Structure 1
Amino acid sequence: MVLLNDHEGKALVLLPANMLLNLVSIWKHSGRHLQPVRCKDASKFFNQAALKSQAGQEKLFQLPVFIDQSLADYERFDVVESYTGLAFEAQSEWFGDHMSLCSLGLTSQSIDQHQQDGSDEQVITRAVERFTTLRIQQRLEDTLGLPPLPPSMKRLVELRSDPTAGIDDLVPLVRGDASLAAQVMSWAASPYYAAPGEVHSVEDAVIRVLGFDLVVNLALGVAMGKTLKVPDDTPRDGIPYWKQSVYLAAATELVCKKMPAEIRPKPGLVYLAGLLQNFGYLILAHLFPPHFSLLSRYIEANPHMALEFIEKQVMNVTREQIGGWLLDNWGLPEVVVEAVRYHNDLNYDGLASHEAKLIYVVSRALRSKELADGPVEAIPDSVLSELRITQADVDEVLDHIVASRGELDALVHTIMHAH
């Protein structure tokens, strides 16, 4: 059950729980430009005491009701509202003459059937040609107008990919970039890293507090994120980009350390993949500004649906495809690229299988605490078994992350205000 509204008032939509609500279909059918209400308004509305009783539930359906035609023959419905979890049985007789049947739902299978085959680059190219006036040049990256990484960041990518690189290579690079040096000093002073005593120099920050891996990973994640602007018209009440990235990176690294040493990935690379896992979201906003606003409304209307299917329906390309492609273009380690690209695909069994599944597990865990976007989903036991961790391990990390919210929020603040 989804609540929509416009200048004429509210309306309800009922559709099967495995379907995406196609806003364009309901606009065409109703002749109204109905929009999803924001999360906090839906929560306030559906948490009314009157809706705990059958009389109140029946009165709710005095609103105009749009029902997917696949439900035409049902007399009773087990109704669920996604934001509040309100659930009850509704009778079709409640709808009376203000019920309208229309085709307004799409299953994930029907969405996939309309996606064209091809490599990620071919998919991105077709989406760009369809949704923009850009003509694809010989090199896709030339067409997109994406800013290049500054020279110091290119050197960081090289350090990240060089197994022999160490602190002696990193410290001069940080010292030579005033902006990066200021960021490193502010991170070292962050309560989350709880350095004993004051941090007096870049060397002190790198050697005593943060370490090689963390400095390289934070610097890369922030630099890449800052090449693109966080969009204005995001889903209302969604988790801010940097908050989600920092929380997920920190939690993924901690869960990684729970894995047995013989199969454990490098925690530093896992942290970087977690920090960049949502990077494609910024690229979608950069490339398709008008359609990104529409995407935001679709996400609000479909809190029960996996984000990749909403993006396929609206954009014909997902954040994972475009994020993985650009990170590969920028020369990041293959493990990081593949973890970003495939972290929502449980069938993926490639080079970064453990890294990708760690991000999958942690993102689902954070959703349950409203610290990451996407529908709340149970973590399959088979995934935990493959990583040789338990739900108790994940819960322990989650408790630590929740207890550290103040310190992590302070770190997010330093990143967002770094220049």
Structure 2
Amino acid sequence: MHFPSNLKKLLDTKQINYSLTMYTNDNFEDNAFRDHHLRNSNAARSVLLEDGQGKVLALVPANCILDLNRLCQLLGRELKAVSPAEIETMASSKGLDVIPAIPNINGLETVIDDQLVNSENPVLLDSGKSPHLLEIDHNALESLMSDKAKQMDIAVPVDSIEDENTDDLRDITEAVTSFTNHRIKQRLEDTLEMPPLPETAQRIIKLRVDPNADIADLSNIVEIDPSLAAQVVSWASSPYYSAPGKIRSIHDAIVRVLGFDMVLNLALGIALSRTLSIPKNGPYGSQPYWRSAVYMAATMEGLVTAIERQHRPGFGLAYLSGLLHNFGYLIIADVFPSYYDRLCDSWDANQHLEQTIIERQQIGVSRNQMCAWLMEVWNLPEEILVALRQQNNPDYDGEHAIYANLLYISQQLLRRKGLSCGPKEPIPKHLLERVYLSDDILEDTIDNIMESAMELENIANELAG
């Protein structure tokens, strides 16, 4: 792949001495993992922002979080990330993959983080065309900055943020306490104001551990809640399951299509997700939430089915963990409503990182921590707690690890298709071996999901209301 001639002309015109280097420090050559490569190479990445005054290009190390709140304060502006679609249009018009991390390119107002300017090492810049990186010295960087680019402290190293695997309840309490200046109550019990476990969910959980439970018991519980019953019947009636004839009742849905275990966990997942309010509209509203939940559950279903029977985890629990994988997002929106909008902006501005890292940087606790804590309070199975808590950790190998590992793999498969937020990362070979899967099985699974995309979208739309 050739280095873009328009960038070469720009650098030559400014008499910038530079060299080209390739992605380093890893063994992956697939350009789909661009963010992974940039972080491993310690390179600078670009973040394009805008408000009513115009666009701003922020340049930060790829192993850092762009502190959007601080940048806005320093500039006295209300910047938000430019949409990926607009960035793609701008970049592709120049023959690029992304906007290059080059100060003042195309006349854009530029802010560059102190760490890039003050580093003793040569600076690596994302050229905007995989897999090339520009390597320049500090004199060249200063020439590119000229008098138009501002140097500011706007990035937080990811390594400086404490790892998630700590005492969750302590972290939640400290995060809540830190908001006392913003009129959030000090005591966790008062502040979270979490609703009790819904009655329907309570009855389903009791049914799960009843060895004598049968189809009639489950049907009776679900049918008491007309809205829940309608959603389960609608799910079973979807072309996704190609059920013969019309599904007329919960009994039909169980016996003819979904099975006892799936209906039990499907009903539980829907009942729990209706417990907390969710913004109706926007990129993080109810439709994207349910879209993510439906695709993740379907992907988990496909992966579990592909595992040989002697190694296969519990189907219902795997499906439920997929349906609830993003439940912590609802908690974030419910517990920290005054910070919700700014969190959304920071997620958009730091798409190269897991959203949970941004959450820990801004509020001191992640959605995964709060979700696992709440599920424990609600007495959900330990497998679900582990899956939701460790879903972003491909190295987790503790008890019930297969559920968390499968969530990680499902997330990465969906990200490659643009169906889930967050950085695309290579799926380690040792992880596939641990869950008894192969690359070929992953490809077949995600291909099957994409073939059913229309049916899954319809299910998500119905759940979102």
Distance across 2 between alignment mates of 1:204 and 1:239 = 27
One-letter amino acid of the counterpart of residue 243, structure 2: A
For residue 142 of structure 1, report the CA deviation from its aligned partner: 5.3
For residue 179 of structure 1, report the CA deviation from its aligned partner: 2.6
1:255 aligns with 303
1:106 aligns with 156
2:234 aligns with 186
Q: Which of 385, 388, 413 is 2:461 aligned to?
A: 413
Matched, 1:133 2:183: yes
Q: Which of 29, 54, 61 is 1:16 aligned to?
A: 61
Distance across 2 between alignment mates of 1:58 and 1:373 = 27
Normalised TM-score (structure 1) = 0.89
For residue 164 of structure 1, report the CA deviation from its aligned partner: 4.7
For residue 149 of structure 1, report the CA deviation from its aligned partner: 3.0
Q: Structure 1 80/161 Cα, relative in aligned 2: closer, same or farther at 3 Å?
A: farther
**Per the alignment, in what secondary structure is the counterpart of residue 244 of structure 1?**
helix
Q: Structure 1 272/237 Cα, relative in aligned 2: closer, same or farther at 3 Å?
A: closer
Matched, 1:4 2:45: no
Alignment of 1:183-332 (within 5 A): 183-231=231-279, 235=283, 240-332=288-380
Distance across 1 between alignment mates of 2:400 and 2:190 = 28
Alignment of 1:53-72 (within 5 A): 60-72=105-117
For residue 237 of structure 1, report the CA deviation from its aligned partner: 10
Per-residue Cα deviation, 1:292-311 (whole angstroms, up to 9, x for no partner): 11111111111111212111
Distance across 1 between alignment mates of 2:461 and 2:286 = 17
Normalised TM-score (structure 2) = 0.81
Q: Which of 70, 74, 78 is 2:125 aligned to?
A: 78
One-letter amino acid of the counterpart of residue 400, structure 2: A
Q: Using the TM superposition, name which of 356-365 and 235-244 deviates more.
A: 235-244
2:420 aligns with 372
Q: Using the TM superposition, name which of 323-332 and 122-131 deviates more.
A: 122-131
For residue 234 of structure 1, report the CA deviation from its aligned partner: 5.4
Matched-pair contact (CA < 8 Å) for 1:39–1:237:
no
**Per the alignment, in what secondary structure is the counterpart of residue 360 of structure 1?**
helix
**Per the alignment, in what secondary structure is the counterpart of residue 66 of structure 1?**
strand
Q: Structure 1 216/285 Cα, relative in aligned 2: closer, same or farther at 3 Å?
A: same
Q: Using the TM superposition, name which of 311-320 and 20-29 deviates more.
A: 20-29
Matched-pair contact (CA < 8 Å) for 1:66–1:99:
yes
What's the C-alpha RMSD, in Å, of the aligned pairs? 2.9
Alignment of 1:138-177 (within 5 A): 140-141=188-189, 143-177=191-225
Distance across 2 between alignment mates of 1:185 and 1:25 = 49
Q: Using the TM superposition, name which of 222-231 and 173-182 deviates more.
A: 173-182
Alignment of 1:364-403 (within 5 A): 364-403=412-451
For residue 174 of structure 1, report the CA deviation from its aligned partner: 2.4
**Per the alignment, in what secondary structure is the counterpart of residue 259 of structure 2?**
helix
Distance across 2 between alignment mates of 1:111 and 1:305 = 13
Gaps of 5+ in 2: 1-45
Matched, 1:345 2:393: yes
Per-residue Cα deviation, 1:149-207 (whole angstroms, up to 9, x for no partner): 33222101212344553323212222333233222222221111111112233321221
2:43 aligns with none
Distance across 1 between alignment mates of 2:234 and 2:406 = 28
Matched-pair contact (CA < 8 Å) for 2:279–2:285:
no
Matched-pair contact (CA < 8 Å) for 2:103–2:149:
no
Matched-pair contact (CA < 8 Å) for 1:256–1:267:
yes
For residue 350 of structure 1, report the CA deviation from its aligned partner: 2.5
Distance across 1 between alignment mates of 2:345 and 2:286 = 11
Q: Structure 1 33/184 Cα, relative in aligned 2: closer, same or farther at 3 Å?
A: closer
For residue 359 of structure 1, report the CA deviation from its aligned partner: 0.3
Q: Structure 1 100/59 Cα, relative in aligned 2: closer, same or farther at 3 Å?
A: closer
Matched-pair contact (CA < 8 Å) for 1:188–1:210:
yes
Distance across 2 between alignment mates of 1:176 and 1:233 = 29
Per-residue Cα deviation, 1:129-152 (whole angstroms, up to 9, x for no partner): 223534355xx4554222223322
Distance across 2 between alignment mates of 1:234 and 1:317 = 24
For residue 27 of structure 1, report the CA deviation from its aligned partner: 2.7
One-letter amino acid of the counterpart of residue 157, structure 1: I
Q: Using the TM superposition, name which of 149-158 and 284-293 deviates more.
A: 149-158
Q: Which of 404, 415, 419 is 2:452 aligned to?
A: 404
Q: Using the TM superposition, name which of 237-246 and 387-396 deviates more.
A: 237-246
One-letter amino acid of the counterpart of residue 63, structure 1: L
For residue 323 of structure 1, report the CA deviation from its aligned partner: 0.8
One-letter amino acid of the counterpart of residue 253, structure 1: E
1:32 aligns with 77
Q: Using the TM superposition, name which of 232-241 and 167-176 deviates more.
A: 232-241
